[in-house]
Amino acid sequence: MKKLFFLFTGLSLLLSCADMQRDQFLKQLNKLDKQLLQIESKLEEEQIKDISSIKSKTMQTELRIKQNLHLDTINMALAKQLDAYKVMRRSVKPLMQQYMKARNGVQEEKKLLKQLKRDIQEGRGERHRYAEYIRFERQKVKQLDLLCDDFLRQKDKFFEDYARLYPPVEAFSQTLLRKNQQR
């Protein structure tokens, strides 16, 4: 009888420790979920809705300059400005790719965390590796946060360059167009 009592007590202690550990794992996953929601909200706030119109306008301006600029020599300041303009215009595609990579990464990570949470709640898989899985997912969330921050820096730089470069280059292209139409 004593053996049965000790066996029952030992089994209860073991199960209660497993439940405490399960609760700890679930709390860690909830924290990661919250971090993902913060990253997702940063990305949603910064949606680039007008980027296609900006890309179109900048390409039209560059094309207008290529078609209407017929100089043997060019002012060095203007050349630097046009070069910076080209670099700014070409940065649109990598910027959009970075946005899509961050957004898709967040969606994928949310699915993985949901699956891991379900596995832990139901006690499926290799239970002794749950802590390792959570550490791995935590690293991925940190990488997504860094990717998001880098995207936001690049986006801010792009719009800063756009505001600085587009108006004078657009005005220059319109001037060239008018001169060619008068000939």
Q: What angle do the packed helices 2-45 and 130-182 form, to 10 degrees?
A: 10
Return the higher-pLDDT residue of 55 and 73. 55
Over 80: is that where the pLDDT of 8 sits? Answer: no
Please report, for the chain, the start and end positions of each structural domain, with discontinuous segments joined by +.
25-182
What percentage of the chain has pLDDT greater than the value 90? 34
Q: Cα(22)–Cα(12) distance, rounded to whole angstroms?
A: 15
Are 33 and 113 within 8 A, CB to CB? yes
Q: Count other Cβ atoms within 10 Å, centred on residue 115.
A: 12
* pLDDT tier at 15, thresholds 50, 70, 90: very low
pTM: 0.78
Name the DSSP letter for residue 98.
Answer: H
pLDDT tens digits, 30-51: 998 999 999 988 888 755 666 7
pLDDT tens digits, 119-172: 888 888 788 888 899 999 999 999 999 999 999 999 889 989 999 999 999 998
Of 70, 69, 96, the residue nearest 151 (C-alpha): 96
Of 44, 52, 147, the residue nearest 101 (C-alpha): 147
